[in-house]
């Protein structure tokens, strides 16, 4: 046995024992001190610390928190019964490949249904969907529910075949679709019930401001009657899925799939928006970027859905271009610092043309209301009643002009007729990027055709992308301002152009209105 090692081990053991005792004593002393200090001592220390950092601790903080909690409870009690779940079914048929009868004919014979045939067999598929809706009106035993168009539409945009309404109590009622509006992404369904169900109270979305409380009610991922809370993050947002014409309320209240068509309400329980979509980088999960259609956008829609099952949108008859980020066009048209939308094309025989609005006019106001972007103008015109006359203010050649336009009813078939879109092509000043894209000579300058609308007058006279425009109706054009000026002055009723294409000079055929 090594005595030196044994002695060292005993010293190490004693040292550890002393260290352990010291730690135990320190913990015991700390606990004794903590137990001997009353709540008043702790509060005094917190108060002193707060005073040192100049922070005022409100005495009624708990009462304030409980007041907010009570308000949210009241909102939930008020709103949840008026928000329903929509269960939809889309019935679709799909062709089954027949494999030319092999191997089924070998086993079952050529006349057996499993043998296929030239066209094969059809199989029926029932695709299910979920969404939310808001009870907004009652007439006798008929309840009317506002929701999103995409909730009652399949992936191809067709109306679903079956709709069932489920209330917050779990009762289900068959429902029917009354009308859809894909431009606003709104729809109306109805169902019958003898029960006394509460109606949602519609607020005023024009009064919504950033920082206001926002409470979302719906059925995310099928979890019925879910309530989430946040604030209004922004108002007047544009964009979103599809070709909608809405501006949006942005909120960080949690919104997920299934919330669509549900209610976004204020702290008073008034509906200020219809939840529609989310922006997400996580595959569709909520990241605090939810968007709702302002309820004021839907009020006229509700009335028209109930009264006639469709929306009568106003129609101006122009093709619009947002040039807010194109410094070349802004500078060329002398529009720096001015908000509005460029009417790049005008439909032949449209309300706009009849009133005198022409290609190149920059629309800045409708009835003295500023038109800040395309969405605002489209929404404003869509809400105008057909047959009424409204004043449109435009900037033309640097001067402000007003035109009285008698609004027509929007007909999607007419609005899609490109052959009436005058002139039907877009030009841009040649720069290095366009020289590369269209393989133009390095010294090429002037205007190049960047887009030609199919079946439009420009397409009919055989204008092509990459053509350099030198003259219109025998009048030289060198920049965008002169291009639109010549269109208005020299090409009102007929149009032809001198162009350069692949190094050759050509003249297009003429087009007459």
**pLDDT above 90: percentage of residues in the chain:** 68
pLDDT score of 244 = 86
Q: Residue 150 catalytic?
A: yes
Average of pLDDT values for 144-164? 95
Higher pLDDT, 394 or 64: 394
Which pTM value belongs to this model? 0.76
pLDDT band, very low/low/confident/very high, at 399 (cuts 50, 70, 90): very high
| Residue 272, C-beta contacts closer than 8 angstroms, at least 6 positions apart | 203, 204, 205, 208, 214, 249, 264, 265, 266, 292, 294, 295
Looking at residue 92, its pLDDT comes to 84
Contact between 148 and 131 (Cβ < 8 Å): yes
Please give the Cα distance from 244 to 184 (Å, whole number).
5
Query: What pLDDT score does 310 carry?
Result: 87
Residue 44 confidence class, pLDDT cut points 50, 70, 90: low
Instruction: Write the DSSP assignment of 385-454 as a string of letters.
Output: PTT-EEEEEEEETTEEEEEEEE-EE--HHHHT-GGGEES-EEEEE--HHHHHHTT--TT--SEEEEEE-T
Q: Write out pLDDT tens, residues 218-269.
A: 999 999 999 999 999 999 998 888 778 899 999 999 999 999 999 999 999 9
pLDDT of residue 64: 87
- In the set 168, 185, 247, 252, the catalytic residue is 185
Report whether the peptide linkage leading into residue 103 is cis, meaning its omega lies within 30 degrees of zero: yes
Q: Contact, 326 vs 332, CB < 8 A?
A: no
Averaged pLDDT of the chain: 86
Would you place residue 190 in the very low, low, confident or very high pLDDT band (cuts 50, 70, 90)?
very high
Q: Do residues 230 and 266 touch, judged by C-beta distance below 8 A? A: no
Q: Which two structure tokens, joined as six digits, stand for 73?
A: 């409870």
Q: What is the pLDDT of residue 282?
A: 66
pLDDT of amino acid 24: 45
Strands 389-396 and 369-370: unpaired
Average pLDDT over residues 424-432: 94
- pLDDT tens, 495-511? 999 999 988 999 999 99
**Confidence band of 414 (pLDDT split at 50, 70, 90):** confident
Please determine, for residue 305, whether its predicted confidence score (pLDDT) is greater than 70.
Answer: yes
Per-residue model confidence (pLDDT) at position 301: 93
pLDDT of residue 298 exceeding 50: yes
The yes-or-no verdict on residue 9 having pLDDT over 50 is no
Sequence-distant (≥ 6) Cβ neighbours of residue 277 within 8 angstroms: 240, 241, 260, 290, 291
Give the pLDDT of residue 381: 96
Which residues partner with 139 through β-bridges? Answer: 142
Residue 47 banded pLDDT, cuts 50, 70, 90: low
Length of the chain: 513
- Distance from C-alpha of 341 to C-alpha of 324, rounded to nearest angstrom: 8
Can you tell me the mean pLDDT for 314-328?
Answer: 92
What was the pLDDT predicted at 12?
A: 42
- The yes-or-no answer on residue 428 being catalytic is no
Pull the structure tokens for residue 136.
């907004």
Q: Catalytic one among 153, 190, 205, 260?
A: 260
Percent of the chain with pLDDT over 70: 83
Which pLDDT belongs to residue 124? 83
Q: pLDDT digits over 79-126, tens only?
A: 999 999 999 999 988 776 665 555 545 444 555 554 444 555 778 889
Residue 217 confidence (pLDDT) above 70: yes
- The partner residues of 28 in beta bridges, in order of sequence, read none
* Active-site annotation holds for 247: no
- Of 82, 90, 132, 150, the catalytic one is 150
Average pLDDT, stretch 413-429? Answer: 87
Reply yes or no on whether the pLDDT at 30 is more than 50: no
Of 53-62, 318-327, 449-458, 473-482, minimum mean pLDDT range: 53-62
Q: What's the pLDDT score for residue 451?
A: 95
pLDDT reported for residue 412: 73
User: What residues contact residue 453 under an 8 Å CB cut-off, 6+ apart?
Assistant: 345, 418, 421, 424, 425, 459
């Amino acid at each position: 046995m090594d005595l030196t090692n044994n002695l060292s081990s005993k010293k190490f053991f004693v040292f550890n024992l002393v260290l352990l005792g010291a730690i135990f004593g320190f913990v015991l002393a700390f606990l004794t001190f903590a137990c001997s200090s009353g709540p008043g001592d702790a509060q005094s220390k917190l108060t002193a610390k707060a005073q040192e950092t100049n922070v005022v601790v409100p005495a009624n903080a708990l009462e304030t928190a409980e007041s907010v909690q009570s308000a949210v409870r009241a909102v939930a009690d008020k709103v949840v019964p008026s928000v329903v779940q929509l269960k939809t079914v889309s019935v679709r048929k799909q062709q089954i490949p027949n494999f030319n009868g092999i191997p089924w004919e070998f086993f079952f014979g050529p006349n057996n249904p499993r043998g296929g045939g030239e066209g094969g067999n059809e199989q029926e598929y029932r695709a299910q969907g979920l969404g939310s809706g808001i009870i907004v009106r009652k007439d006798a035993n008929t309840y009317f529910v506002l929701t999103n168009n995409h909730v009652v539409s399949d992936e191809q945009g067709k109306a679903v075949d079956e709709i069932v309404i489920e209330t917050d109590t779990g009762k289900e009622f068959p429902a029917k679709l009354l009308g859809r509006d894909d431009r606003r992404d709104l729809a109306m369904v109805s169902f019958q019930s003898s029960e006394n169900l509460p109606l949602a109270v519609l607020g005023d979305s024009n009064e919504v401001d950033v920082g206001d409380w926002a409470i979302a009610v719906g059925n995310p991922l099928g979890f019925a009657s879910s309530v989430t809370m946040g604030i209004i993050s922004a108002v007047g947002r544009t964009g979103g899925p599809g070709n909608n014409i809405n501006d949006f309320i942005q909120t960080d209240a949690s919104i997920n799939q299934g919330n669509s068509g549900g209610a976004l309400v204020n702290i008073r329980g008034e509906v200020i928006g219809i939840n529609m979509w989310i922006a997400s980088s996580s595959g569709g999960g909520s990241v605090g970027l939810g968007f709702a259609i302002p309820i004021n956008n839907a009020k006229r829609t509700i009335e028209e859905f109930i009264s006639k099952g469709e929306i009568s949108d106003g129609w101006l008859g122009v093709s619009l271009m947002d040039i807010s980020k194109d410094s070349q066009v802004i500078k060329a048209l002398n529009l720096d610092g001015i908000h509005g939308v460029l009417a790049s094309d005008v439909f032949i025989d449209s309300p706009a043309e009849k009133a005198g609005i022409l290609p190149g006019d920059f629309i800045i106001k409708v009835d003295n209301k500023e038109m800040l972007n395309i969405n605002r103008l489209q929404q404003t015109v869509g809400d105008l009643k057909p047959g009424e006359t409204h004043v449109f203010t435009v900037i033309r050649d640097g001067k402000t002009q007003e035109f009285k336009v008698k609004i027509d009813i929007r007909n999607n078939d007419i609005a899609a007729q490109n052959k009436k879109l005058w002139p039907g092509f877009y030009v841009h000043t040649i720069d290095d990027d366009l020289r590369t894209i269209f393989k133009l000579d390095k010294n090429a300058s002037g205007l190049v055709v960047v887009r030609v609308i199919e079946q439009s007058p420009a397409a009919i006279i055989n204008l092509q992308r990459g053509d350099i425009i030198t003259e219109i109706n025998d009048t030289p054009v060198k920049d965008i301002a002169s291009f639109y000026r010549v269109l208005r002055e020299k090409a009102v009723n007929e149009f032809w152009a001198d162009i350069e294409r692949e190094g050759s000079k050509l003249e297009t055929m003429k087009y007459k209105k």
